[in-house]
Structure 1
Amino acid sequence: MTDAVVFDLDGVLIDSEPVWEQVRRAYVAETGGRWLPDSQQRLMGMSTAEWARYLSVDLGVGRAPEVVATEVIDRMARRYEQELPLLPGAVEAVRRLADRWPLGLASSSPARLIASVLEETGLAHRFAVTMSTEEVPRGKPAPDVYLAVAGKLGVAPGTCVAIEDSSNGLRAAHAAGMRVVAVPHAAYPPQPDAIALADRVVNGLDELTVEALGGPGRRTR
């Protein structure tokens, strides 16, 4: 039984992971830091406070985390103003599922960018609840944001289907007790242990149908 569907944003509705990587890589280089081979994978799912501290401390950016967060988010906002990297079928998938269930959004993006994306796509009114990991104690892979969204929707986590792409996102939704549908990103594929947590794996957003999400489903590839 499905009572609600909870979407991730980055990598599910917008192809923003490459943009985040480009912006943060450039920022780290410009500020005297050092990007590490596993930095992008580690950053995916972190809350704003977590990734800002990671850049500031672990990657050697010589600025306070609060400054890092503001400056990077400003750069991301400018990139979105130039071009919003909407994924194929994103708007249609949201509209299709919103006609059947209440929708939540559980994103690691800052609230400012979430609002910008939903306004630009005209999807803001389709989501009953939107939350950033800025609003909970821990970012993904902790389940905090998914549990908070379910609570605000007034449904049990176990009756929610979460739509995720990243390793930490899949882990977070699964830890919250939700059924998980994975939409892997070709350039940033989830790690094998994370994808194994998914109840269903789809190749694109056009496969997110009411019929596919209406019950526990069987795992498909």
Structure 2
Amino acid sequence: MTNKAVTHVLFDVDGLLLDTERLYTEATQKLCDCYGKQFTWDVKKQVMGKKEPESAKMIVDMLKLPMTVEQYIEDIHKEYDTLFPTVPLLPGADKLIRHLHQHKVPIAVVTGSNTKSFELKSANHKEFFSLFHHLVLSGDDPEVKHGKPAPDAFLVGAQRFNDGIEPSKVLVFEDAMNGVEAAHAAGMPCVWVPHAEQDRSVMEGKTELILDSLEHFKPEDFGLPPYDS
């Protein structure tokens, strides 16, 4: 084993456990189409993982949309209400979470989503999310003062295990650059499962491992119980 041995695990949700990033793009582009704008990967990669008010402001400003941030949020939520309840789990997510839960490895969710958004996305996956020790919905969690890439959300996530775990023993799974930066700032090792278009060299030195899919993760590489053969 060459990676750091860990005892606890924190998971982002969007684009990692749930295939929502595709839906975020679809909803945002549909709104942008009304104004002849393109929601490009260059814009998307900068807003991924941030709290909604901040990401909304960035989109409005960067694309010069003729609307207020408040109007943007209201309009985009109409799209989310339709799309989010249909979202599937991503490959490898169900197997990994059930494996860790079965072996009593403490696991938790740390997402930039707020409560309403998370409830929409998890509507058809309630049993799956019940396997986690706790959920940090940093979009409206009063203890998370700053969204990713600040470390606040992951530090709160670790504290809520209530066992005094050291950050270095908490493994983070992320798909977004902002999330990787947050994990690094929190002093936590990170497995990065980036978008196919993402330049992987930009996070050099800030991740323990980069994967194309959760399907390729080997728990024993981080001192966790291996899958049954």
If the TM-score is normalised by the length of the shorter chain, which range does it land in?
A: 0.7 to 0.9
Aligned twin of 1:212: 221
SS at match of 1:14: coil
CA shift digits 1:143-202 (9 cap, x unpaired): 12111111222333221000112222111111111111122332x425413153111223
Q: Is the 8 A contact 1:93 1:209 kept in 2?
A: no
Instruction: Choose which of 76, 84, 90 in structure 2 pairs with 1:87.
Output: 90
SS at match of 2:64: coil
Identical amino acids, percent of aligned pairs: 26
| Long gaps (5+) in structure 1 | 216-221
Higher RCO, 1 vs 2 (CA within 8 Å, ≥6 residues apart): 2
Aligned twin of 2:205: 196
| Larger mean Cα displacement after TM superposition, 155-164 or 71-80 | 71-80
SS at match of 1:63: coil
SS at match of 1:38: helix
Aligned twin of 1:170: 180
Matched AA of 2:195 = H
**Aligned Cα root-mean-square deviation (Å):** 2.3
Paired positions, count = 213
* Superposition misfits of 4+ residues, deviation over 3 angstroms: 31-37, 116-119, 207-210
CA shift digits 1:101-138 (9 cap, x unpaired): 12111112332232333341221211122123313232
How do 1:19-38 and structure 2 match up within 5 A? 19-31=23-35, 35=39, 38=42
| Larger mean Cα displacement after TM superposition, 61-70 or 124-133 | 61-70
How do 1:97-176 and structure 2 match up within 5 A? 97-99=100-102, 100-121=104-125, 122-134=127-139, 135=141, 136-154=144-162, 155-176=165-186
Q: Is the 8 A contact 2:43 2:59 kept in 1?
A: no
1:96 matches 2:99: yes
C-alpha distance in 2, partners of 1:74/1:132? 20
Shift of 1:9: 0.8
Instruction: Choose which of 17, 20, 24 in structure 2 pairs with 1:13.
Output: 17
Q: 1:43 to 1:153 in 2, by over 3 A?
A: same
C-alpha distance in 1, partners of 2:96/2:187? 23
